[in-house]
Amino acid sequence: MATESVLHPSFIVPVGHIEPVPRRIRGMVAGRVVFDTRRALYVWEWQAYPQFSIPVEDLVDGTLRDDGHMEHLGAGPAHRHTLQVGSEVREGAAWVWGEGAPGALHDTVRFEWEALDFWLEEDEPVFAHPRSPYSRVDALRSNSTVRVELDGVVLARADACVKLFETGLPTRYYLDATAIDWTRLRHSETVTRCPYKGTTSGYWSFDSDRASHQDIAWTYEFPTAHVHRIAGLTAFYNEHVDLYVDGSLLPKPGNPGATQAD
């Protein structure tokens, strides 16, 4: 059986890659539109996913103030700016690309995602970060059996599952609620957002006789439409449990990706 580490495709986009965004992109602060553009660029500062870079000319409201600080952000040098929108001040909210950055990025600004209150692609909200045009996320029903153990305790046992395949991440195995021993798990207040799958509705942790294991499983009650098959199902981090698929123990991959939950 091939190992999990070679079963999922890796990211293919190099750091510094730039592509046009064929969508209207808007950002909002305190109910006001900061920018509205059909000329945004994808820029990869790291391989996992891109950021949006916005033409300075397409700022609608707000002003940028140079903080006098420069950093290299993967694609090139950029100068940190503070954003002011009415009475709202967001320190270090934006990076204006400087001398030495690729020419396509000149006169554009990359905003820190959390510095804005709301992002829109066309008329739909985007969570956590832009969706990569080179990534796929597919949820497929499977009759593979799955058993989840941790510290010698069986936490779940399923005769079928939904496998979620996401570029750059290990396959995730989503299980029906009846397959899980909920008496062993405790609910967590953790909430994470994914631009491909939506917002989690629950995380669960496990306390064994040996150790406390925080946030090892999660559920999407209302995922995005294209992964509707995982609605109400629960997945465990391959990284943190002993996961048996069709009777074989999968090797543990590296740490979860930047977009947990997966």
Q: Is the predicted pLDDT of residue 2 greater than 70, yes or no?
A: no
5 falls in which pLDDT band (50, 70, 90)? very low
d(CA 214, CA 59): 42
d(CA 262, CA 79): 33
Provide mean pLDDT across the span 88-108.
96
Q: Phi first, then psi: what are they for 242, rounded to 5°?
A: -95, 115
pTM of the model: 0.82
100 falls in which pLDDT band (50, 70, 90)? very high
Mean pLDDT for all residues in the chain: 92
d(CA 211, CA 80): 43
Taking a C-beta distance cutoff of 8 angstroms, is the pair 43, 200 a contact? no
Provide mean pLDDT across the span 242-258.
80
pLDDT at residue 240 in the model? 96
**Sheet with 242-245: strands ordered across:** 153-158, 146-150, 242-245, 248-249
Q: Is the predicted pLDDT of residue 167 greater than 50, yes or no?
A: yes
pLDDT at residue 7 in the model? 62
pLDDT tens, residue by residue, 119-133: 999 999 999 999 999
